[in-house]
Amino acid sequence: MNISRQTIRMLALGLLLPLGGCDLTVVNAGPVQDDFLTDAGAHPAVVAGIELNLALAMNQLNFFGSEASKEYTQGGRIHPIKLPPIPRQLDHIVTELPNNAWNAAHTGRWVAEDGVNRLRESLEAGFGTSPLAARALLYAGYANRALGENMCEAVVDGGATQDRSIHLQTAETYFTEAMAVATAAGESDLATAAQAGRASVRLFLGDDAGAQSDAVAVPVDFVFELLYAASPTVHNNWINYISSNTPYRAHSVYDTYYEGYYTTSGDPRVAWGTDPDQLTAEFENVPWYFQLKYPDLDSPLRLSSGREMLLVWAEVELRAGGWQNAMTVINGLRAGLVSDHDGTPLADWTAANETEAWTALKRERGIELWLEARRLGDLWRWVDDGTPGEMEDVTDLIRLCFPIAPSEIQTNENISLDHQSPTNPLYTGG
């Protein structure tokens, strides 16, 4: 992907003339010189730009990916960010869908990595103790994790196709350096976030010992979030934006696992509501059950948490055959939560064998990470690993990941024009 490095424009205001009258001429100062972005005074803006582009990428992945992974049901369309005409299908033929998600996610990665390189060059020896450098490294890790969890294949800066794991390996490298720099800079929260991020990618990469070691080091109450803003619209949390009836009702929890689960359990983590004055979504045949996880346009999105780390720990235990230990960890995550319906504690999951324990893990992870752009990667991982236990039926999904965007295929000489990203091995066309 070719992205202009000169993205900032400045306008010079006309100067007031002394002794009456004004010269209202506006002089375009032209693009900011690229070297200006390495100036120390620009560093906070560079890091803010990294965070913004990551937020925009997560919006796209969450908007499309949560529908594809059956975390919500299509309730309508928003122009120009329409959901696919065939529900839940991540296919090449819907050019707008893969283009938007692919381009936003790779822009987030490129901006983060370029920002890290700028800081490294300009700070030199000071890079290793810089709070801004620690944050930039951390976001570069999350940007690569998002790609590794959600994309079918990796394509880096116009290169050839590679296994998606290259992004996860890159994320691990960034998280590891972020831990060191954040620790040296005295930024303990950033160091903990980096360790939590590293645990999550090590789980995907099959480094069970490393994943568990990182996970148990993160406090259970730790949370690291990506921030959004109420204005302008492009900076909104899109899951709220498309479900707040102002005027969009583009998704509904109807006909998902979470509809029935919340009805029976009242688990506050997957809360949804109804409006007696607006019973249907934009599609009149879809009841409007709107999510309550993100109540505001500026609701933050969780990138890592100590609660997720318990699930990492539990999955490693399951992989090792310790399903009883895994159930103890999983149910420990439910302890202290009470039903929205009647205030009673949530019931524990029960399991009599390893298969049932895997079902509990898959369900609990879906509940805990609901609408955080994480489910699609989990579904792909469990199918690829052939793990037992029940989860969403994925036999009707063409892909469990985003294909390479048509815009990438059409402009990248290293990719054949008839290239097709891998399909879901369980797909039956149902």
* Stretch 277-306: mean pLDDT: 96
Q: What pLDDT score was predicted for residue 90?
A: 77
CA 375 to chain CA mean position, Å: 10
pLDDT at 59 over 90: yes
Q: What pLDDT score was predicted for residue 130?
A: 98
Q: What is the distance between the alpha carbons of residues 104 and 228, in angstroms, rounded to a whole number?
A: 16
Peptide bond into 300 cis (omega under 30): no
Q: What is the distance between the alpha carbons of residues 342 and 320, in angstroms, rounded to a whole number?
A: 38
CATH architecture group of domain 42-230+303-390+398-410: Alpha Horseshoe (1.25)
For residue 393, CA distances in Å to 61, 195, 287, 396, 400 come to 21, 32, 21, 7, 12
pLDDT 10s digits, 61-85: 999 899 999 999 988 875 444 555 5
* Stretch 27-37: mean pLDDT: 61
**Dihedral sign of CA atoms 136, 139, 141, 144 in order:** negative
Name residue, tokens 């879901």. Answer: 424
Q: What pLDDT score was predicted for residue 76?
A: 86
Q: Are 54 and 301 in contact (CB under 8 A)?
A: no
DSSP single-letter state for residue 134: H
Q: In terms of residues, how long is the chain?
A: 430
* Stretch 354-376: mean pLDDT: 98
pLDDT 10s digits, 299-325: 999 999 999 999 999 999 999 999 999
Q: What pLDDT score was predicted for residue 6?
A: 32
Q: Are 401 and 90 in contact (CB under 8 A)?
A: yes
Q: What is the mean pLDDT of the chain?
A: 89
What ranges in 206-305 are assigned the alpha helix state H?
208-216, 238-241, 257-265
Q: How does 368-405 read in b/e, with b if 16+ C-beta sit within 10 Å?
A: bbbbbbbbbbbbbbbbeeebebebbebebbbbbbbbbb
Q: Are 428 and 395 in contact (CB under 8 A)?
A: yes
Q: Write down the pTM of the prediction.
A: 0.90
Where does residue 7 rank: exposed (0-12), middle (13-18), buried (19+ CB within 10 A)? exposed
Amino acid type, 323: W
Q: What is the distance between the alpha carbons of residues 368 and 14, in angstroms, rounded to a whole number?
A: 54
pLDDT 10s digits, 195-225: 999 999 999 999 999 999 999 999 999 999 9
Q: Which of 203, 221, 270 is nearest to 66 (CA)?
A: 270
Q: Which two tokens stand for residue 277?
A: 């004055």
Q: Which of 178, 125, 128, 143 is nearest to 52 (CA)?
A: 143
pLDDT 10s digits, 224-242: 999 999 999 889 999 999 9
Q: Are 193 and 224 in contact (CB under 8 A)?
A: yes
Name residue, tokens 């990667």. Answer: 377
Q: What is the distance between the alpha carbons of residues 179 and 176, in angstroms, rounded to a whole number?
A: 5
Q: Which of 375, 303, 240 is nearest to 112 (CA)?
A: 303
Q: What pLDDT score was predicted for residue 12?
A: 27
Domains of the chain by residue range: 42-230+303-390+398-410, 248-290
Q: What is the distance between the alpha carbons of residues 148 and 377, in angstroms, rounded to a whole number?
A: 8
Q: Residue 29 — pLDDT band, cuts 50, 70, 90?
A: low
